[in-house]
């Protein structure tokens, strides 16, 4: 039996993902200061942003987007049960992340073209245009 994978160990590929874009904004509770003044006239670390002054929001719809290049560190081929999976590990301490072959592409341009195709297909299926961040 010959089993082949589309990508090789050590190869850099582009992955796509279907999620909302994270947006960082000033904390609405402390207005970005990181401290709040309470009834006892003492200032405390803001409980909403934990004193950082910034909170993350995820505005808009989930859309397919290119999520940067990864380097293949492990390949797992399931000959009888499913798709080929690839793993990318960022550090020796991390167990890594598993990616399906259908969401990996050789170039950024190929990845973007597939995102555009999937976003149009999903718009046609539900009749709703996808909202990008800031729209």
Of 99, 78, 113, 84, nearest in space to 6 by CA? 84
Please write the tens of the pLDDT for every residue from 100-123.
889 999 999 999 999 999 988 776
- For residue 3 the two structure tokens come to 């089993």
Please write the tens of the pLDDT for every residue from 69-96.
999 888 887 766 667 777 776 655 556 7
DSSP of 31-58: TTSSEEE-TTS-EEE-TTTTTSSEEEE-
Asked whether the predicted pLDDT for residue 57 surpasses 50, the reply is yes
- For residue 54 the two structure tokens come to 């910034």
Backbone angles phi, psi at 77, to 5 degrees: -110, 125
Lowest mean pLDDT across 21-25, 43-47, 106-110, 112-116: 21-25
Q: Where are the domains of the chain?
A: 12-21+60-126, 24-57
């Amino acid at each position: 039996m010959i089993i082949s994978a589309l990508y090789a160990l050590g190869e850099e590929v582009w992955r796509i993902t279907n999620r909302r874009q994270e947006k960082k904004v000033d904390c609405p509770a402390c207005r970005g200061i990181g401290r709040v003044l309470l009834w006892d006239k003492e200032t405390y670390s803001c409980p909403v942003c934990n004193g950082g002054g910034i909170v993350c929001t995820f505005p808009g719809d989930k859309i397919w987007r290119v999520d940067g290049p990864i380097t293949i560190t492990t390949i797992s081929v399931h000959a009888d049960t499913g798709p080929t999976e690839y793993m990318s590990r960022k550090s020796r301490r991390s167990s890594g992340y598993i990616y399906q072959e259908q969401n990996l592409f050789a170039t950024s341009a190929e990845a973007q073209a597939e995102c555009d195709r999937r976003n149009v297909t999903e718009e046609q299926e539900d009749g709703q245009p996808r909202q990008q961040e800031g729209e």
